Structure 1
Amino acid sequence: MMGEKREDGLIVKGMTSPLNPIAQLQLRFKDLETNFHGWLSKQSLAVEAAIVTATSAVQGAAIGGFMGTLTSDVTSAFPTPPVDASLSPQAMASFKQAQALSGGPLMQARNFAVMTGVNAGISCVMKRVRGKEDVQNSMVAAFGSGAMFSLVSGMGGPNQAANVVTSGLFFALIQGGLYKIQEKFSKQPAEDIFYSRTRGMLANLGLQNYEKNFKKGLLTDNTLPLLTDSALRDVRVPPGPRLLILDHIKRNPELRERR
């Protein structure tokens, strides 16, 4: 079929083949998601927080319900004690904690809905109020998420207030640590300003593989006008690339004047 070229390169002038159904569906979903986020960013803080909380809670409930089906067999191992059972507060707290961790689909759906919904809602409010997204926002959201999870699940000992604070702090520390780890591994390495011109020269000559040789020999941008065949040989640059580099420096007026 005939088509015109677009910026995304999916349609080019001349004979083109249509996208497969999966790719079309992905593009439509991406467009819908982009439009939705654009619309949401223009709403008031209350509306945005409510929608984000609700949608995240639905997603969390789906995940929790699925996980609950996997732990339904474990739940049967914790029979409900009779009403008149004389259990100590500590024993009852342990029983509730086991139920919270191994509950059926409905219980896990509720727990995950609360955790994900509260976390997303607080994150949304913090980001809008502070104007940025950082580890502080993440830890505050995690504290609220852990505190609400403690309330709805009944985890912990008989002191409910202490349980809420302890769970909140535990969630905050875990999520803060994960945020820092993710930030560390996702951060792009800063460009070395001392080798910017050298990197450009090698790229133009198709010799970018020898950038490591320059760095190993501390041949920075300031040393470009001073380069000699022996200096390049010392950092193990082969004869052919050496000739190309020296010829480039010789032909460059700015570098030639600085020699």
Structure 2
Amino acid sequence: MDGRQDVMVMPQPPANPIVQLQARFRDLEVGFRSWLAKQPLAVEAAFVTATGAFQGAAIGGLMGTLTSDMASTFPSPPPQATGLSPQAMASLKQAQAFSGGPLIQARNFAVMTGVNAGISCVMKRIRGVEDVQSSMVAAFGSGAMFSLVSGLGGPNQAANAVTSGLFFALVQGGLFKLGQKFSQPPADDIYYSQARRMLTSLGLQNYEKNFKKGLLTDQTLPLLTDSALRDVKIPPGPRLLILDHIQRDPELKRGR
């Protein structure tokens, strides 16, 4: 006997193929975005604009298909109908802008989303940050272009474009702030980021709440023992996997 006690390590359960596929797609997306960010601004902006326009065209085409029956509800006025007031004409054009067929809506939404994506890309590259100001500038541009291509509003296209742009910008600014408020993780989550990654890689993410309940933060990972994991009610199998992972991780092993 050499005084060492052999510990039987249970084999890890097979990884979920869906989780693996999602992780691979995320890695590919991150790698492609990293490559695209290194390209000239014109190349990145053109690609992002084209991608945004394609997505918008798909959404607009679908909406146009679902609302195609509305187009007949708002027919174009006959040429002899010159007695319509400017307000009535403006209302009719607004209705037609949102009730066109698939091709019309695909065009409108392609312009709107493409311009938004392109301006956002340029603003982020120039300013180095994606914030509410950049988001509102992009929304203003997309709203103005949407107004111009769709004929939204009355005969004064310039004023209508500015009005639509301001409306889009205000809505986007409010949504951006609202998204920031609800997307921020709890303040204490920053202390468990490394533990969360470890548990996810082992397929044990359900035990994250046990780590938080026992205050087993990232700083405690190199110090974890079987007794500490048992105290937070983690079963024997997952305990062995966690301890084996820590033992094999060079960074965590150095912290012991």
TM-score higher than 0.5 here? yes
Give distance in 2, aligned partners of 1:36 and 1:13: 37
TM-score normalised to the size of structure 1? Answer: 0.64
Asked whether the equivalents of residues 93 and 154 of structure 2 are also in contact (C-alpha less than 8 Å), the reply is: no
Give distance in 2, aligned partners of 1:107 and 1:90: 23
Give distance in 2, aligned partners of 1:155 and 1:99: 8
Which of 108, 117, 120 in structure 2 is aligned with 1:120? Answer: 117
1:128/1:82 CA distance change after superposition, 3 Å: same
Residue identity matched to 2:25:
F
1:150/1:13 CA distance change after superposition, 3 Å: farther
Does 2:96 match 1:103?
no
Pairs within 5 Å for 1:27-42? 27-42=23-38
Which of 61, 78, 81 in structure 2 is aligned with 1:82? Answer: 78
Instruction: Name the residue aligned to 1:160.
Output: 157
Moved more, 123-132 or 84-93: 84-93
Instruction: Name the residue aligned to 1:139.
Output: 136
1:66/1:47 CA distance change after superposition, 3 Å: same
Instruction: Name the residue aligned to 2:250.
Output: none
Does 2:167 match 1:170?
yes
Which of 44, 47, 58 in structure 2 is aligned with 1:51? Answer: 47
Instruction: Name the residue aligned to 2:146.
Output: 149
Residue identity matched to 2:60:
G
Asked whether the equivalents of residues 36 and 44 of structure 2 are also in contact (C-alpha less than 8 Å), the reply is: yes
Give distance in 1, aligned partners of 2:59 and 2:27: 25
Instruction: Name the residue aligned to 2:63.
Output: 67
Following superposition, the deviation at residue 16 of structure 1 comes to 6.5
Number of residue pairs aligned between Structure 1 and Structure 2: 184
Give distance in 1, aligned partners of 2:62 and 2:122: 29
Give distance in 1, aligned partners of 2:79 and 2:32: 50
TM-score normalised to the size of structure 2? Answer: 0.65
Which of 65, 68, 89 in structure 2 is aligned with 1:92? Answer: 89
Following superposition, the deviation at residue 143 of structure 1 comes to 0.4
Following superposition, the deviation at residue 30 of structure 1 comes to 2.4
Pairs within 5 Å for 1:237-256? none
Q: Which has the larger radius of gyration?
A: 1
Asked whether the equivalents of residues 147 and 164 of structure 2 are also in contact (C-alpha less than 8 Å), the reply is: yes
Larger RCO: 1 or 2 (CA < 8 Å, sep 6+): 2
Structure 1: gaps (5+ residues) = 1-11, 192-202, 209-259
1:15/1:141 CA distance change after superposition, 3 Å: closer
Following superposition, the deviation at residue 123 of structure 1 comes to 0.6
Secondary structure in 2 matching 1:102: coil
Give distance in 2, aligned partners of 1:38 and 1:44: 13
